[in-house]
Amino acid sequence: MAARPGGGKERASRIPLNYYKKRDAIARWKLGLSLLAALFTLGWWATGFSLGGPGLVSQNAMGRLRASHGPLTRAHATWDARCDACHASFQPIGDDSWTRKIGLTSASADTRCQSCHAVLDHHAETGKPGDTALKSCGGCHRDHQGRDASLVRLPASDCTSCHKDLKGHTQTGAASFASAITSFAGDHPEFALIKQKQGDLGTLKFNHALHMSKGLIEGETQKPVFTLAQLGEEDQKRYAREGQGASDGVQLECASCHRPDNGKLPPASSPLGVEAMASLLSSGTGGYMKPISYRTDCAACHKLEVIMARGEAETKVTVPHRLQPSALHETLTNLSIGLSLGKDVKTLEKFTPSSRPRPGRRDEAEQSAREEVQARVTKAERILLGEGKGTCTECHQYRPSEGTITSKIDFTRRLDEYAVEPTFVETVWYKHALFDHFAHRGVSCQGCHESAYPNAPKPSRSNDDVLIPGKSSCVQCHAPEGRDGQGNPTGGAGQDCTECHTYHADEQSPGVHRVEPLDRLKFAEFLKGTGDGKGP
Amino acid sequence: MLLFDRDNWPRHRPWLAFVAMATLGATLWYAVASLMASRLLGGGSLPGFTFGVIGGVICLFEFLIWPRKKFRAWRIGRVQTWMKLHIWLGLLSLPILVLHSGFRLGGSISAALMILFLVVIASGVWGLALQNILPRKMLVEVPAETIHSQIDRILGHHHDEAARLVQETCGKAVAGSSARTPSASSPEAPDDDEDEDAEETRHFVVGAVRSAGKISGKVLQSRSAGPSVEGSEALRVFYDLTAGPFLTPDGLKGSPLRQAERARVIFEDLRTKLDVRAHPAADALENLCDQRRQLAEQQKLHFWLHSWLVVHLPLSVALIVLMFVHIYVALKYL
């Protein structure tokens, strides 16, 4: 029956009771788009496994790339889309505490790393077994940080997790190093080299202050200035500073002798100065300085010359470096004989017996010639092995066959009883840390090696002085950023342990052993990653 | 009832405190752990993983409000409580999952996931703001509010009622007049028999807005038509040319009655042309036109009130799907 117009039935039927069963436009859009979103999302992920191909990325690679949370470092870029090269499915690559607690270890992933990186374990034998602080490879070397990210520049916390309480992480409860280090600027101990005050064990006599003084003389003195004119022509060019003439005193700089190990000498004409140029040299490393060498660093000034006289004629002869006293005697004898032979034919005759020699008798002329030669040799030896400038003794010390090391030779004894003591000049002072001079090229040498300069409060005049800076010098920069009392900026440079230290210690360190490399892979296997548990 | 208002705010206050405390606690834990590690920890660390699990569970719970609203008959907590949890846990998931990410977007999947998550949260907050503002506006500005999906049907009724009103007032329509011709769009268009009944009973229904104190709403009113009024042809003409088309679903565009003030002037002018006995009919017609404008406003507000869900819901679905992909991938390449 139809509703009567104007009646209650019409009023009730204005909106049908089942109106809610029909979706409106917005509801239809919501449902449709939701289904589409689910399909699209799954499709986007799934298509990753079917896209790609030779020349782009291998099949399935795109899907894996989508799983990657960042590009691998350049060295590992080959395996950017080959997760199995490093990852073991459903096993952690880095041992975080929570994964260990549920029984997951990174052993499989570590094996993959070690198939290429056969590094030394870090005190594996001295560390506590099962110590959660001892990390897996991936626990410290975190990849997927971008192509240029370093896997070895690690935050200090990776080290201080143990080193803040080292005794608590060793089997014996003892530590051979400082046992509580939490930061470099804070509780890192003074460098052992400085703390132990053992001095320079080298024997080369050297006065840094003198060598850094103009004219190689210190203070007010009547001694003559050592001028550029006293150097050879080539050396004059090398040591002359801008605006200097031949009559000017030689002014050495650090870089005059200490050259970075990149093998290049700075051009002498550099307007920046030799020292500055040396620091700016591009190099393979340039981290350390080359060992000091007599030939390249001393010979220009310290010529091993001696004057030999024959009659009124004087001849300047140069003896080679690196001769022991006995060899020096032999060399001087030869030079002396040569001097005699080269100047006078009659002398030659004296060395050529005119008649058959008779036992027990010596020709007088020969005897005279021998004495002349010996006299010249003795005089030269006294000069070269004696005391004073231009002698071996000026720099070297001697070890007699009996007795202790000495700076003087007793000429009443035979020369072959003495040996020149090796100089033992250190080339690398920090034994447990790395230092890179090249990285510090922006800082003046004087900033760290102040005592080498004559104007220092305590200039170094003895080879016993160690001019290597202590921690206080480093923390001027390698400390938290701040301001000093005058408002000057302090700190701000890197303070992580890896700035100076390496983790995988050398074989001499206690408790380390070399991890044996696994079987090597074929080239093709290496490139594609095997995924069979062996690693790349 | 609004999501947030002065009355229910005390019930939200504990949740606000909980979210603030949880955020603070999580941030502190993360900050201390990151400081100890000297790097921003990611999802693989203990705090990162914990935040990931918590965030994932929250996301799942958030998503469950959809089926909960779909199946209202299920007795698993009041929808109001669910909505409260949906809002506050959703807000809590933002800091939790940002901390889980370690402030990095990571690879494609995690980046897409984070972007989806942020858009979902943003659309949710946008929706929350709209849901808190627009219903208040609707209550004030649209007293004639009806069920949104039935607006076209109601408009059909209004059109028919107006036509009947005009016919009852002006008498039989002359040829060519549309008055007394029920709207084609009206699903409830009375047939000819009913017309005869209506003519016989001379009663009809008119939807009108009535106010009682602070409450105003739409009521249906039965009216009895009086005798036709001589000289009310102007009403028929006005209906045919202006009011009739305006009352159809598509009649809003270009109509002078679209603006309330202009409509008031037009009706004032109409009344001057009509006999005073035809004024009640003009008033009723004006009332119907006013309702037409309100329903148009309701449609607009309804669009803003619900259209954000067209973004929020599909992206939430994508988020949940991608979250499971992320969980699988993250655990596989742990």
DSSP A335-395: HHHHHHHHH-HHHHHHTS-SS---TT---HHHHHHHHHHHHHHHHHHHHHSSSSTTSSTTT
Q: Is the pLDDT of residue B53 over 90?
A: yes
Collapsing DSSP states into helix, strand and coil, what is residue A406? strand
Q: What is the mean pLDDT of residues B102-125?
A: 89
- Of B327, B302, B151, the C-alpha closest to A26 is B302
- B236: nearest Cα among B159, B179, B320: B179
Give which of A153, A134, A141 is closest to A93, Cα–Cα.
Answer: A141
pLDDT at B100 over 90: yes
Whether A89 contacts A105, CB under 8 Å: no
Angstroms from A471 CA to nearest CA on chain B: 22
Q: How many angstroms separate the CA of residue A99 from the nearest CA in chain B?
A: 8
SS (H, E, C) A275-328: HHHHHHCCCCCCCCECCCCHHHHHCCCCCCEEEEEECCEEEEEECCCCCCHHHH
Nearest-CA neighbor of B242 among B277, B286, B274? B286
Output the six-digit token pair for B301: 């507000």
**Closest Cβ–Cβ partner in B36, B38, B314 for A33:** B314
Check pLDDT > 90 for residue B57.
yes
Residues of chain A with pLDDT under 70: 1-13, 49-65, 95-97, 100, 118, 120-125, 130-135, 220-222, 262-286, 343-363, 505-536
At residue B271, does pLDDT exceed 60? yes
Chain-centre distance for alpha carbon A43: 52
Question: Could you give the angle at which helices B46-63 and B9-37 cross, rounded to 10 degrees?
Answer: 150
Please report how the helices B279-332 and B151-170 are oriented relative to each other, as an axis angle in degrees rounded to 10: 170
Instruction: Measure the CA–CA gap between A294 and A257, rounded to whole angstroms.
Output: 10
Is B169 or A60 the better-scoring residue by pLDDT? B169
The angle at the Cα of A376, spanning A374 to A380, to the nearest 5 degrees, equals 115
Rounded to two decimals, the ipTM of the complex is 0.77
A interface mutation test: which of B54, B110, B310, B312 has the most A CBs within 10 A?
Answer: B310
**Mean pLDDT across B102-113:** 85
Q: Does A33 lie at the interface with B, CB-CB under 8 angstroms? A: yes
- The overall average pLDDT reported for chain B is 81
Indicate the pLDDT class of residue B18, thresholds 50, 70 and 90.
very high
Q: Which backbone phi and psi does A399 adopt, to 5 degrees?
A: -115, 115
Best residue of A9, A13, A14 to probe chain B, by most B CBs closer than 10 Å: A14
Residue B90: the pLDDT is: 92
Q: How confident is the model at residue B306 (pLDDT cuts 50, 70, 90)?
A: confident
Q: Is A371 exposed, middle or buried (0-12, 13-18, 19+ CB in 10 A)?
A: exposed
Judge whether A476 and A490 are in contact, CB under 8 Å.
Answer: yes
CA gap A193, A199 in Å, rounded: 8
Say if CB A261 and CB A283 are below 8 A apart: yes
Q: State both tokens at B228.
A: 């036709």
Query: For position B119, what pLDDT does the model report?
Result: 94
- Which stretch of A1-5, B5-9, B295-299 has the lowest confidence by average pLDDT? A1-5
- Predicted confidence (pLDDT) per residue in A494-526, tens digit: 888 888 887 775 544 444 445 555 566 666 666
Looking up tokens 């469950």, which residue turns up? B64
- Contact list in A for residue B45 (CB cut-off 8 A) is 96
Residues of A in contact with B204 (CB under 8 A): 5-6
Query: Most B CBs within 10 Å: which of A26, A28, A184, as the mutation test of the B interface?
Result: A26
> Does any CB of chain B come closer than 8 Å to the CB of residue A46?
no
Token reading at A504: 């995988």
d(CA A421, CA A405): 8
Q: Chain B contacts of A92, Cβ < 8 Å?
A: 44, 334
A377 closest CA partner among A418, A411, A426, A427: A411
Tokens representing A262?
Answer: 């990149």
The mean per-residue pLDDT over the stretch B91-108 comes to 89
DSSP B256: G
Interchain pair B205, A6: CB under 8 A:
yes
Alpha-carbon distance A195 to A432, whole Å?
Answer: 14
How do residues A263-309 score in pLDDT, each as one tens digit? Answer: 554 444 444 444 444 444 434 466 788 888 888 889 888 888 888 88
What pTM was computed for the model? 0.66
Q: What is the pLDDT of residue B29?
A: 94
Residue B146: how many other CB atoms lie within 10 Å: 19
Residue B269 has pLDDT above 60, yes or no: yes
Helix axes B279-332, A25-47, angle to 10 degrees: 20
Q: Is the minimum CB–CB distance between A92 and chain B shorter than 8 Å? A: yes
Residues 126-185 of A with CB under 8 A from B: 144, 155-158
A75 CB within 8 Å of a chain B CB: no
Residue B204 predicted with pLDDT over 50:
yes
Record: contact B198-A29, CB cut-off 8 A: no
Answer yes or no: are the C-beta atoms of A63 and A73 closer than 8 Å. no
Task: For B70-98, write each residue's pLDDT tens digit.
Answer: 777 777 777 778 888 899 999 999 999 99
pLDDT of residue A452: 92
What is the spatial distance between Cα B275 and Cα B228, in angstroms, rounded to a whole number? 11
Among the listed residues A127, A10, A264, A25, the one whose alpha carbon sits nearest the alpha carbon of residue B151: A25
Q: Is pLDDT of B230 > 80?
A: no
A156: tokens are 């200090």
| Per-residue pLDDT, A267 | 46
pLDDT digits (tens, 9 = 90+) for B115-150: 999 999 999 999 988 888 888 888 888 887 888 888
Picking from A157, A112, A168, the residue whose alpha carbon sits closest to that of residue A135 is A157
DSSP assignment of A248-265, as one string?
Answer: SBP---HHHH--BTT--P
Q: How many CA atoms lie within 13 A of A141 on its CB side?
A: 20
- A25-65 pLDDT, tens digit per residue, is 888 888 899 999 999 998 888 877 665 544 444 545 555 66
Contact B334 A99 (CB under 8 A): yes
B224: chain A residues, CB-CB within 8 Å: 6
Instruction: Give the pLDDT score at A282.
Output: 39
